Homo-oligomer: A and B are copies of this chain.
């Protein structure tokens, strides 16, 4: 029998019991008044997370499905988008372009660094044919938040469509879709939304909706025109039980004071964790961290695997290691989903005991102390 596992991953996250049990209720048909009511309820609340009044498409897929929907619906064969490649998920935009034979212009960013708006401007100047910029809000493979507000200004100035992958970060890292002029934002279900994986969401500005009319790339399941036309129904059978869970989770977010309160909570956990990491004589990985997960360099002489296994076996905590070329070199400690302050603090203490056991040199207790000091500086309401 496998041990219990408390997820401190950048997704999937712990699902609140109340949400999970809502999904276990008797199912109803996806062509019914009840489904219509559900979707109208969900949609009103989800728009507040996206900070948009525009259309949202509800896809039954992982977040990658939403990425594919962006590429195949927005682009024409002749388009040459700018793609920010600052980690595994930036590269995924590129891989999707390749799969659909789209010539794209990558901006290569060293993993752990944040793209600068000047680099976007430079790329747009160098490629005047480019009509799109694809990027992340938070590059989950490096734990780096990008400055979307500044990039949006550049995109507006150059009159290009701005597409933001916020799969792991919507509702965690600030994003003002309408106010900043982001044209397309996407997210997934198993992150801030606190439900199991299986749903993905694409929010589209009026300009983006016009753009998809002109696309000539092949698609069927991802055809966003069909999602627009059929709303509040979906063109193909949706994952109804997950939509019921989504509704419950969105209600919980509202009860907790709304999306900004949740963002503040995650940010306070992340800040306390960063303080603890540095006090434990460890190095942060990202130059511009965000509240989805904190990335930490694995110190010389200690194996990533031993850290992950100690946390899992002795503390029933699941954090994640590095991906691709960072495998073995990085820890990713999540702050999202159904996590309370005591969980975040407990995880910091568990990290201390783990590093102590594995022979890392630091003053035991210093991490927790730094976390508590970080938290004590915040007002109670933010905590």
Contact = CB atoms under 8 A, between A and B. Distances in A.
A240 B20 contact: no
A131 interface: no
Interface string A211-241: 0000001111101000000000000111111
Interface in A168-219: 188, 190, 196-198, 217-219
A21 B318 CA distance: 23
A287 interface: no
Contact of A64 (B95, B100, B220): B220
Given A60-B61, A197-B60, A241-B196, A9 B24 contact: no
A61 B221 contact: yes
Given A27-B14, A61-B65, A318-B32, A99 B219 contact: yes
A37 interface: yes
Interface in A24-81: 24-30, 32-34, 37, 60-65, 68
B197 A240 contact: yes
A290 interface: no
14 contacts: A2-B28, A9-B29, A17-B24, A20-B23, A27-B196, A28-B318, A29-B318, A62-B236, A63-B237, A64-B220, A64-B236, A65-B236, A100-B220, A242-B242
